[in-house]
């Protein structure tokens, strides 16, 4: 006899500022699923290291920090040690730091089971860099969501300006291109499209169109 079917997972991977977080959260809301922003765990690790004065390339100490990270997700708020950290982890310093600590194999190993624990009924939508390839290889649907670097830089610039933060689009573009290269070249769980993932290029798409594409793919598989 076969056992119960595993809790379904929709894995949405892609480069920084591609819009995968927004799309994933809206897909989860539409389906009544849980949502995992895996990138926030790496951002929180980077933030905790920066606050503790730990060098971001000190693999052993950063991994130990990741393993005991006092992180919590309450409603739409991200907490670190009980203190709000939602805004702090979105700053460029944390964004760049997250990419650096995510390249450390020991840090990725420390966060792996923590991410898998988010898989709870009725389902999970997870976004990140290796959700489909490493964390949830048996995901019911894998999506590689991307956009051109120029479009992603424009989106990030708009987000920062709307939040009242200063931003230079040329610097943002260079940062995104460097981060893409670093994420694709790392030895563990490099950023790449899985062979069984659907490609979703959102350069010319609205958020609503991207969400609908993911929902259509998932419902076709769940039928």
18 is in an annotated binding site: yes
The sign of the dihedral angle between the CA atoms of 92, 97, 100, 102 is negative
15 is in an annotated binding site: yes
75 is in an annotated binding site: no
7 is in an annotated binding site: no
Cα distance between residue 99 and residue 153, in whole Å:
16
Based on its alpha-carbon atoms, the radius of gyration of the chain, rounded to whole angstroms, reads: 17
40 is in an annotated binding site: no
Instruction: Reduce the secondary structure of 82-126 to three states and give it as a string.
Output: CEECCCHHHCHHHHHHHHHHHCCHHHHHHHHHHHHCCCCCCCEEE
* Number of C-beta neighbours around residue 223 at 10 A: 5
163 is in an annotated binding site: no
Q: What is the DSSP letter of 197?
A: P
28 is in an annotated binding site: no
The backbone torsions φ and ψ at residue 72, rounded to the nearest 5 degrees and listed phi first, read -145, 145
Annotated binding site for ATP: 14-22
Annotated binding site: 14-22
């Amino acid at each position: 006899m076969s056992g119960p079917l595993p809790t379904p997972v929709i894995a949405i991977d892609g480069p920084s500022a591609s819009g995968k977080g927004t799309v994933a959260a809206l897909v989860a809301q539409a389906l009544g699923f849980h949502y995992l922003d895996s990138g926030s765990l790496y951002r929180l690790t980077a933030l905790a290291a920066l606050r503790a004065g730990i060098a971001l390339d000190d693999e052993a100490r950063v991994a130990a920090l990741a393993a005991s990270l006092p992180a919590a997700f309450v409603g739409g708020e991200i907490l670190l040690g009980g203190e709000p950290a939602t805004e702090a982890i979105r700053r460029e310093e944390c964004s760049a730091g997250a990419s650096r600590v995510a390249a450390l194999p020991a840090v990725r190993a420390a966060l792996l089971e923590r991410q898998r624990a988010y898989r709870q009924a009725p389902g999970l939508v997870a976004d990140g860099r290796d959700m489909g390839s490493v964390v949830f290889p048996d995901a019911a649907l894998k999506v590689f969501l991307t956009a051109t670097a120029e479009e992603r830089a424009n989106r990030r610039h708009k987000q920062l300006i709307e939040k009242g933060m200063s931003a230079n689009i040329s610097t943002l573009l260079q940062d995104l291109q460097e981060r893409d290269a670093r994420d694709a070249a790392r030895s563990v769980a490099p950023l790449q499209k899985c062979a069984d993932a659907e490609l979703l290029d959102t350069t010319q798409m609205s958020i609503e169109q991207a969400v609908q594409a993911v929902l259509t793919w998932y419902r076709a598989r769940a039928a």
